[in-house]
Amino acid sequence: MDLLTSCTFTALILLIFTSCGAFYRHFVKADESTFLTAATFVLSLSTSFILVLFIPVDIYLVSNGDVEISNLEITQRLVSKFYHFIFWVLIFEAYILVPFSYFYVKNKRYYRNEFDDNIVPCENVIESFKKTIYFICLIVALSIIGLVYRPGHKLAMEKGKELEYISDLLDMKHTGESAILFLMGCVVLIGVSFWVTYTSYGIACLPLLFLQQKNIEHDKKEIETRFANLKEKEMVIKHKYRAPSEIRESDKYEILRIAKMQRALSRYNYKLQEIEKTSESWLSYVIGIVLTCRVITGLVFLTFSFAVYISLLASITDKYLNSVCAYKCGFVLEKINTIFNLLDSSLIFFSRFFPLDIFIIASLAIYIFCCSLYGIVNVGIRVFFIPLYKLKARRSSPETMLVLCFVIIHIILVLIMTLLTIAPNYITYGIQRIRINVRDRGKKKVVPSGGRAN
């Protein structure tokens, strides 16, 4: 059993790394990719997924006590250290490794474009390291400003009390707990902005993409209408001039843009004709099966979206109606889930049949990743209304993949925080019971999660 368990976990980790590598190869330009970019992307994305998938393992250990796999004893203390280690690894990857790789690729591209030559790798490493240090200094400066003006910090800087001021600023009385929580909140806030921009868009639209059916006749009529409008617009521009040589640069650019759109419409019309031809052959049966699978996938995605939406709504309503102190204490509840929570109840039920809850959590994480990716592909990576990068299959630059990696890391961190909202009982061990070894009289006591052994 130990060998089987260790092999299963090894296969799962290898599957995560392989999937991340395949995802990277699918989107990046093959001729521009570098080993550093690929390694950074795969390592960062894999670490994020491993952190999410370790939650059910933690709950299983709480329920069944320490586990020994191939002479390695996995204890709750070891799991706690693992959580801290993975979290700081993610922070290192997001704010040091990814920026360094980004600057490295950017410098390489700049030298190639400006000087038509490759920069010496050693010089590039030094230059990228300098820019990474500047980036870290900026983050540290912003963090200090945030700590100074954070809620709860009221002590002013006075002469002769500098050490007392710094101690209060960093909350040294509580080993920096307040300062660390504030900085974690800032990191999560960045992730929430990505979640709102991309993930929420994908959760709403991705199921509809799979459920909607193509109407070939309607699409053909729409193409004909758009083609006629473009042709008319082109004729209006050309009629303004007597000879082609008199056409202004702006109008020439517009004519080229119209021609490009006409070619795209022609290609799409050709694809519709191919689909129409295959519908009359034996391939129509295969296409029918594929469309059926597509609809089933859409229904599964819609179920996930519905579960996330209902669970969030139930949790928020519960906190709003039953919190003892409302916004003054962050809507804390005396009793979790007085309102039925679909996702939370499902996870608690499946946790009795470990590792089924790992499968549910993995499916949810993959679905959130797909929704985020769908949102990023359609919306594009942007800051407010300013577009920065566009994600396209086999045409994305390494810089785009690194920025995507930065975004996904924060979205996964927000997913972990969101699980506390949409599945609070499950994440806080729910109906599981903690096994505590008590030497007194050589007996083993079992207490509920959150309880005390007497």
Find the mean pLDDT for residues 159-166. 56
Of how many residues is the chain composed? 454
Cα separation, 253 vs 248, whole angstroms = 9
69/294: higher pLDDT: 294
Confidence of residue 450 (pLDDT cuts 50, 70, 90): very low
Structure confidence at residue 453 (pLDDT): 40
Q: Is residue 307 part of a domain?
A: no
Q: Give percent above pLDDT 70 in the chain.
A: 70
70 conformational bin, left if phi > 0, alpha if psi -120 to 50, beta if neither: left
DSSP 66: -
Residue 51 near residue 412, CB atoms below 8 Å:
yes
Confidence of residue 439 (pLDDT cuts 50, 70, 90): very low
End-to-end CA distance of the chain: 34
pLDDT at 258 over 60: yes
Structure confidence at residue 349 (pLDDT): 80
Q: Is residue 244 part of a domain?
A: no
Q: Measure CA 235 to chain center.
A: 47
Characterize 317-351 residue by residue with b for buried, 16 or more Cβ atoms within 10 angstroms of its Cβ, and e for exposed: ebbeeebeeeeeeebeeeebbeeebbbbbbbbebb
Q: Is residue 381 part of a domain?
A: yes
282/87: higher pLDDT: 87
102/174: higher pLDDT: 102
Cα separation, 332 vs 279, whole angstroms = 58
pLDDT digits (tens, 9 = 90+) for 333-387: 666 666 777 787 887 787 777 667 778 877 888 888 888 888 888 888 887 777 7
Cα separation, 89 vs 98, whole angstroms = 12
Q: Is residue 209 part of a domain?
A: no
Find the mean pLDDT for residues 314-343. 72
pLDDT digits (tens, 9 = 90+) for 10-49: 788 888 889 888 888 888 888 888 888 899 999 988 888 8
Confidence of residue 442 (pLDDT cuts 50, 70, 90): very low
pLDDT at 65 over 60: no
Structure tokens at 179: 């300062």
pLDDT digits (tens, 9 = 90+) for 379-437: 888 877 777 888 888 888 888 888 888 888 888 888 887 777 777 777 765 555 545 55
Structure confidence at residue 118 (pLDDT): 65
The pLDDT mean for the chain works out to 75
Helix (H) or strand (E) holding 73: strand 72-74
Q: What three-state secondary structure class fits 299?
A: helix
pLDDT at 224 over 50: yes
Q: Give percent above pLDDT 90 in the chain.
A: 2
Task: Evaluate the omega torsion of the peptide bond into residue 56 and state whether it is cis, within 30 degrees of 0.
Answer: no
Structure confidence at residue 114 (pLDDT): 60
Structure tokens at 157: 């800087």
Structure confidence at residue 169 (pLDDT): 60
Nearest 5 degrees, angle CA 296-CA 424-CA 69?
Answer: 80
Find the mean pLDDT for residues 127-137. 89
DSSP 28: B
Structure confidence at residue 5 (pLDDT): 63
Q: Is residue 18 part of a domain?
A: yes
> Most confidently modeled of 92-106, 252-266, 318-332, 388-402?
92-106
Confidence of residue 445 (pLDDT cuts 50, 70, 90): very low
Cα separation, 14 vs 325, whole angstroms = 47
Structure confidence at residue 133 (pLDDT): 92
pLDDT at 451 over 70: no
Structure confidence at residue 413 (pLDDT): 84
Structure tokens at 366: 């993959």
Cα separation, 5 vs 70, whole angstroms = 9
Cα separation, 164 vs 306, whole angstroms = 51
Find the mean pLDDT for residues 99-118. 76
Structure tokens at 280: 């009359």
Residue 396 near residue 95, CB atoms below 8 Å:
no
How many CB atoms are closer than 10 A to CB 396?
22
Which among 420, 407, 402, 397 is positioned nearest to 372, based on CA atoms?
A: 407
Cα separation, 13 vs 7, whole angstroms = 10
180/226: higher pLDDT: 226
Residue 223 near residue 265, CB atoms below 8 Å:
yes
- In whole angstroms, how far apart are CA 380 and each of 94, 404, 426, 427? 20, 10, 34, 33
Least confident segment among 145-149, 154-158, 359-363, 405-409: 154-158
The number of distinct structural domains making up the chain is 1
Find the mean pLDDT for residues 257-283. 71
Confidence of residue 317 (pLDDT cuts 50, 70, 90): confident
Q: Is residue 368 part of a domain?
A: yes
50 conformational bin, left if phi > 0, alpha if psi -120 to 50, beta if neither: alpha
Confidence of residue 166 (pLDDT cuts 50, 70, 90): low
pLDDT digits (tens, 9 = 90+) for 180-201: 777 777 788 888 888 888 888 8
- Domain containing residue 109: 3-204+362-429
Cα separation, 402 vs 97, whole angstroms = 10
Which DSSP string do the residues of 298-323 spell out, in sequence order?
A: HHHHHHHHHHHHHHHHHHHHHHHHH-
Find the mean pLDDT for residues 234-260. 79
Q: Is residue 325 part of a domain?
A: no
Cα separation, 113 vs 115, whole angstroms = 6
Q: What is the pTM of this model?
A: 0.71
pLDDT at 1 over 50: no
Structure tokens at 297: 């996938």
Which among 375, 357, 215 is positioned nearest to 305, based on CA atoms?
A: 375
Q: Is residue 79 part of a domain?
A: yes
Confidence of residue 78 (pLDDT cuts 50, 70, 90): confident
